[in-house]
Structure 1
Amino acid sequence: MRKRKILSEDALQNNPISTEEVAVTVADIRRELEAYADPVKREYLPRFFKTGKGQYGEGDKFLGVVVPNTRTLAKQYKDAPFDVMAELLQSQWHECRLCTLLMLVERFRKGDDKDRKLIYDFYLSQTDRINNWDLVDLSAPGIVGEYLKDKSREDLYRLADSGLLWEQRIAVVSTYTLIKNGDFADILALSERLLHHPHDLMRKAVGWMLREMGKRDKDLLVQFLEKHCKVMPRTMLRYAIEKFPEEERKEFMKR
């Protein structure tokens, strides 16, 4: 996929601040995150998010902060300039990146059309730093999905065709917002497009979104499964039929 250009400083913010002020604000946010750190979580989270050599989260580092505390801090700093957010997204610490993404979600929710466009473009310019499944899942529906509700979905398909796992997951998980609004066309198209994806995280994401669609239109999900269940990866199928009655689940898994 062709990467979007990083936005200019003028485009990213109306209230530019100095390099020194950026550094101070970034340090303040990190210090406040560290105050929430739990040593037990700090030891556990790297294993949970598969940060070992060759795993999908290889090299990621954790302070040990739980999401509710990160979200609290994000609400406090949601109006930080974009250059502060850009710097935070470069952090080695997972929670710094998550805090930034939650800041963007909160800011998007309260922004006008101009603000939302800036946030959307900034978000898609930073996808190489949205690099674990929770970072995607807690931000993509509230930014990409919300922005595209009444717009062309072309970006979803560019992301889906990317060679970057996290961009592909952004494409799929962003449809959660569309699904909740009764719009199923894109998750059906993306599911067919990514039906044979080799990575378990994508198989789970597609199955999850199909399940969400099925909660709202089971007949449509069954039609999709009747067409594809014999060749679907079993993980994807299990996720898609999780809410079906037990006997119906068993029947699909036999195929």
Structure 2
Amino acid sequence: MNALKKVWDHHGIIEKFEANRNEELAGPMKAYLKNHFPFLGIKSPLRKELVKEQFREYALPEPGRVFDEVWKLYTLPEREYQYAAIALIEKMKKHVTTEDYPSLLQLIETKSWWDSVDSIAPHFVGHLVKLDRGYGEKTMMEWSLSNNIWTNRSAILHQLKFKHETDIDLLFNIIEQHSSSKEFFIQKAIGWALREYAKTDPSSVKSFVERHPLKPLSKREALKHFK
């Protein structure tokens, strides 16, 4: 550990964030997420700089305590703390293993909304799937069958950045399971996943869309960049 750094303490982030609380900005930020979460009113560039400052000032937690420390932030009321918790996982991503699926699932199903789920699923869940593709496929199929729409959305989106490493059978299989869903966030995720994979393999996506009944929103999103 760098002797010049303090021992990790999540209160450092709390102090930094509280010192920059802005009630004037907090209202519109809360409204943007449909009033689901309170905000401190710290815009993204400043929030990211404050988190970087925390990482410069404090040594990172021990690898085995990553999620213990993540939860100390994630359970705080204001949304900026969930973002800070996700930033801590990103900073310690190399220490996240397949044993951490339950921890990521708990995060996905806690304080759930598109902003947190869409950070966790492609970046961290996708990372775990790549570590063990067989186990990852089994886990994603289980998540796809969950009765929680955010867990379903995570299964749909976990390969979002895989490009040529995409397991196309898994992607299409999970999408087929949800193609008739009436949930906006599921329809949108299907379209997004297909649109992103179309950048790598447009013919497969076009063929899939033509052969399978998709909701209009999913189809429109999937074919957004096709001429």
Q: TM-score, normalised by structure 1?
A: 0.73
Residues of 1 paired with 2:140 and 2:111: CA distance? 16
Q: Which 5+ residue runs of structure 2 have no aligned equivalent?
A: 1-6
Are 1:99 and 2:81 matched, yes or no? no
SS at match of 1:126: helix
Are 1:236 and 2:213 matched, yes or no? no
Change (3 A) 1:67 1:190: farther
Are 1:138 and 2:138 matched, yes or no? no
Are 1:208 and 2:192 matched, yes or no? yes
Greater alpha carbon shift after TM alignment, 62-71 vs 134-143: 62-71
Change (3 A) 1:41 1:244: farther
Q: TM-score, normalised by structure 2?
A: 0.81
1:175–1:186: 8 Å Cα contact kept in structure 2?
no
Greater alpha carbon shift after TM alignment, 209-218 vs 171-180: 171-180
Residues of 2 paired with 1:73 and 1:140: CA distance? 24
Aligned to 1:79: 60
Residues of 2 paired with 1:62 and 1:218: CA distance? 40
- Structure 2 residue corresponding to 1:186, chosen from 166, 170, 179: 170
Change (3 A) 1:168 1:39: same
Residues of 2 paired with 1:38 and 1:187: CA distance? 42
- Alignment deviations for residues 46-85 of structure 1 (CA, whole Å, 9 cap, x no partner): 221122xxxxx4xx21112233443444451682343222
Change (3 A) 1:175 1:118: same
Aligned to 1:249: none
Residues of 2 paired with 1:69 and 1:158: CA distance? 38
Residues of 2 paired with 1:197 and 1:179: CA distance? 25
Residues of 1 paired with 2:18 and 2:188: CA distance? 32
Deviation of 1:143 (Å) = 1.0
Change (3 A) 1:187 1:38: farther
Q: Which has the higher contact order (CA 8 A, sep 6+)?
A: 1
- Alignment deviations for residues 190-248 of structure 1 (CA, whole Å, 9 cap, x no partner): 111110112111111110010011111111011111112xx422111111111112xxx
Q: How many residues align?
A: 210
Residues of 2 paired with 1:37 and 1:207: CA distance? 37
Change (3 A) 1:41 1:180: farther
Amino acid at match of 2:92: R
SS at match of 2:199: helix
- Structure 1 residue corresponding to 2:133, chosen from 147, 151, 154: 151
Are 1:88 and 2:70 matched, yes or no? no
2:83–2:116: 8 Å Cα contact kept in structure 1?
yes
- Alignment deviations for residues 69-105 of structure 1 (CA, whole Å, 9 cap, x no partner): 4344445168234322222221221111121122112
Instruction: State the identity as a percent.
Output: 23
Residues of 2 paired with 1:131 and 1:222: CA distance? 31
Q: Which 5+ residue runs of structure 1 have no aligned equivalent?
A: 1-20, 52-56, 246-255
